[in-house]
Structure 1
């Protein structure tokens, strides 16, 4: 099985892919998130793994937009604890570091570190593991990278500092996408379903939509609004809720939603992941 992810080897997305599919999966690096979708869409990979939200930095809006733009299906999810390490080459000491390269989200997640160490300038890089690889290849003096300890080991860098993120409980949620949805027969265990739709522009429209879930005791785990590109200042809504499309009460809710929404679509029904506070990115 080939699994596409954004970044270079050692990226957190690759760690998430290995967590979802294990050693049987061959990972396929992609330059951008849209490339991940296109790679799966065109059959160059069987699955894609994309981050959609971080417990500190919030949602990754681009990937929500791409989920609707492409006719792919969500077939899995996982949560990965993100632990950033300060990685440097050779004999570089912490006192020598004047610049740190990393992805903008990683830099934002370590803002307290930069506020405390004002001599160190954060430098935006396209990817955490890409920043680590650049340090290994260039060996620049006084420059380090923020990435996982796994990326450091992969590129022969040493961890000058570990756990430099603002909060210990820093998790990113990743989704697995596929050209085909999971079959109803495979819907065993705890399930989650994701949908997207537009709401009618009338008073109480969203309240009636949410009431479909409340009246049946269906738990909503996320609601996200995004601008509708086809209609200025109107919005599309993404919902995640407990249960699979094979469940009787979910079937009833979906049937009612079709009459209350515009351009309704089920993005996927898949096994719900548990948030494991003991799991660490450094263990891979």
Structure 2
């Protein structure tokens, strides 16, 4: 597909590609002060800070929620009488009930920042939300898609969602959702995760016949679970598994979740640090409806997604645009294009060849307020048939 570029330069920069590498006059850094458009970075286009627009791909429509979803009439709810916890457990009726797909509609909003996360109260995502916004109202959601939609429908101000873990790698579902939704990454949170094995008071490890948790938490504790000789059962989230054991009084089951979940649901911790490697870090993204203005007074990171034209060495050329400007890449992820996964290529030796067509996600350490970042993306568009900035945001350098 031919590149359709239309100049949308801001701040007086009119050259692209290799110009910033010495072939023409240098860029005056003072001339690139950002002037953001009302909608910030739009889907499929770079419409801010020195980037030209590129013809976008079609949306992959990963989210199946109708825009006419019924209006939200609750954010929290009480438990049914038959689900009340046993006498030894805490009263769980005051905990907010996670939003579901049918709950996405208008709700009155207070002055506090409302932050959506996937899972039940006590989930690690809730801890990440509270680390980012200590005084926020944390709103639990049943699914990742619900958290995305809650921000888009103005039910919450932000969403905090996991994107990668140091033990098991990327959370691919959220990469796919970033592509098909129009939210912007405005921050990141790095959280040290300690997974705990918990059960009802009085239950020992030897009595457990099964362990419940999120699939990723189970994967992070593969060796420890194998030693227990129990059945693994996947659950929507770690805290939800603990909640189920508490509300149903399951004496044959244990949950792997946070220490806070054990406290919330009245469970007893049988073992701390269940993860196979003690250093267990999960990185979360903070999503919002509007981008933030990039600066240079602190370390910034930029996340992009793009596809490339067919040709030998084209991926090497795409990555070289960052190396030529001494820009450090911190993350590279590829995902097949769901709408058109197969690319047909004429091969002079073997006829027509079929290859998977990929989306490439890249994080790099530079602010879009820097000319080198603007020029790197302009140079990248010489090889890309689609390019979108997912966000430019401050780096989290703390744990």
Q: Could you tell me the TM-score, scaled by structure 2's length?
A: 0.67
Contact persistence 1:226–1:235 (CA under 8 A): yes
Q: Per residue, is there more helix in 1 or in 2? A: 1
1:274 aligns with 2:385: no
Q: Distance in 2 between matches of 1:97 and 1:229?
A: 41
Runs of 4+ in structure 1 off by over 3 angstroms are none
Residue number among 247, 259, 270 corresponding to 2:382 in the alignment: 259
- SS for the counterpart of 1:181 is coil
Q: Distance in 2 between matches of 1:158 and 1:183?
A: 46
- SS for the counterpart of 2:367 is coil
- SS for the counterpart of 1:251 is helix
User: In the alignment, which residue of structure 2 is the partner of 1:212?
Assistant: 321
Residue number among 109, 112, 125 corresponding to 1:13 in the alignment: 125
Q: Deviations over 1:154-212 (max 9, x none)?
A: 1111101111110101111100000000013x553010000000011111111111110
Contact persistence 1:192–1:270 (CA under 8 A): yes
Residue number among 194, 197, 201 corresponding to 1:90 in the alignment: 201
Q: Which has the higher contact order (CA 8 A, sep 6+)?
A: 1
User: In the alignment, which residue of structure 2 is the partner of 1:145?
Assistant: 255
**Runs (5+) with no aligned partner, structure 2:** 1-112, 342-355
Q: Distance in 1 between matches of 2:125 and 2:189?
A: 11
User: In the alignment, which residue of structure 1 is the partner of 2:146?
Assistant: 35
Q: Deviations over 1:32-60 (max 9, x none)?
A: 10111111011111000110111111111
1:175 aligns with 2:285: yes
User: In the alignment, which residue of structure 2 is the partner of 1:115?
Assistant: 226
- SS for the counterpart of 2:397 is coil
Q: Distance in 2 between matches of 1:138 and 1:256?
A: 58
Q: Distance in 2 between matches of 1:257 and 1:94?
A: 55
RMSD: 1.1
Q: Could you tell me the TM-score, scaled by structure 1's length?
A: 0.94
Q: Which has the higher Rg, Structure 1 or Structure 2?
A: 2
1:159 aligns with 2:269: yes
Residue number among 138, 150, 157 corresponding to 1:46 in the alignment: 157
- SS for the counterpart of 2:381 is helix
User: In the alignment, which residue of structure 2 is the partner of 1:242?
Assistant: 365
Q: Distance in 2 between matches of 1:71 and 1:188?
A: 27
- SS for the counterpart of 1:164 is coil
Q: Distance in 1 between matches of 2:192 and 2:209?
A: 27
Contact persistence 1:103–1:127 (CA under 8 A): yes
Q: Per residue, is there more strand in 1 or in 2? A: 1
Q: Deviations over 1:113-143 (max 9, x none)?
A: 122222x211111110000111111111221
Q: Distance in 1 between matches of 2:392 and 2:211?
A: 40
Q: CA deviation at 1:238?
A: 0.2
Q: Distance in 1 between matches of 2:148 and 2:297?
A: 27
Matches within 5 A, 1:49-64: 49-64=160-175
1:4 aligns with 2:135: no
Contact persistence 2:296–2:370 (CA under 8 A): no
- SS for the counterpart of 1:259 is coil
**Runs (5+) with no aligned partner, structure 1:** 277-284
- SS for the counterpart of 1:245 is coil
